[in-house]
């Protein structure tokens, strides 16, 4: 610990996180570390998708309620959306529990210290590389609407674990594209950009993992 403290004091936060990453690469328990990192990011992704979808459903409900004259079909649609919100909330609760369970499996040592330090950083998800990544996926970081920044400011105790960028479930991104992906397309999309354990390790996965878990950009 002493060395880490000295590095942080003299060279700053990024330097100490890089130092921890170098140590991690030398440790034999790296498979446990990888599982921890990928599982945490995957469950956070699921939480974000749920919340973004819920936000969008609220927008749809409000839009329909504000429209003139509610037909019986509208009423049926509203009920469906309300039911989906309840389902999403239940899922979100399950994911929150899963997050804490996954988090408790973080191997003690440089990974745990690095993860805790990075996640204690206010608005960690607004790291410039994560913002570029959001913009590249046509998320709101590429626009001036400010949705991603607001998410951190407006997070509550319940939603704090799901702060982060837009997903394909988000309303303003759907409006910007002019269409919504089908359920199947969304699944494909999340698989393509996900880091779940069934995906082979590659430079993309490593980049996402080090950014989310340690706040380190390995582009340099
Ligand atoms: Zn968006
Ligand atoms: Zn964003
Ligand atoms: Zn937006």
Which residues keep their CB under 5 angstroms from ion ligand 2?
134, 139, 141, 148, 165
Nearest Cα residue to 46 out of 7, 2, 102: 102
Q: How far apart are CA 141 and CA 118, in angstroms?
A: 21
Instruction: Find the 30 Cα to ligand 2 centroid distance in Å.
Output: 30
- The alpha carbon of 215 and the centre of ligand 1 are apart by a number of angstroms equal to 22
Among the bound ligands, name the one nearest to the CA of residue 148.
2
CA 21 to ligand 1 centroid distance, Å:
31
What pLDDT was estimated at residue 95? Answer: 96
pTM value?
0.89
Q: Which tens digits make up the pLDDT trace of 111-166?
A: 999 999 999 998 999 999 999 999 998 889 999 999 999 999 999 988 899 999 99
Per-residue confidence (pLDDT) for residue 220, from 0 to 100: 58
pLDDT, tens digit, for every residue of 47-106? 999 999 999 999 999 999 888 778 889 899 999 999 999 999 999 999 999 999 999 999
């Amino acid at each position: 610990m002493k060395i880490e403290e000295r590095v942080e004091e003299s060279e700053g936060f990024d330097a100490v996180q890089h130092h921890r990453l170098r140590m991690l690469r030398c440790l034999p328990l790296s498979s446990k570390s990888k599982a921890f990192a990928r599982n945490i990011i995957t469950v956070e992704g699921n939480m974000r998708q749920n919340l973004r979808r819920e936000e969008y459903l609220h927008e749809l409900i409000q839009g329909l309620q504000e429209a003139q004259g509610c037909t019986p079909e509208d009423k049926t649609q509203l009920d469906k959306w309300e039911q989906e919100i309840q389902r999403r909330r239940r899922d979100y609760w399950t994911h929150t529990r899963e997050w804490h369970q996954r988090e408790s499996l973080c191997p003690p040592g440089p990974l745990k210290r690095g993860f805790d330090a990075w996640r204690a950083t206010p608005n960690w998800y607004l790291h410039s590389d994560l913002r570029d990544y959001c913009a590249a996926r046509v998320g709101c970081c590429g626009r001036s609407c400010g949705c991603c920044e607001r998410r951190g400011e407006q997070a509550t105790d319940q939603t704090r674990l799901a702060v982060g960028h837009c997903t394909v479930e988000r309303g303003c991104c759907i409006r910007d594209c002019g269409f919504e992906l089908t359920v199947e397309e969304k699944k494909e999309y999340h698989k393509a950009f996900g880091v779940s354990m069934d995906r082979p390790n590659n430079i993309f996965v490593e980049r996402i993992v080090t950014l989310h878990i340690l706040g380190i950009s390995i582009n340099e």
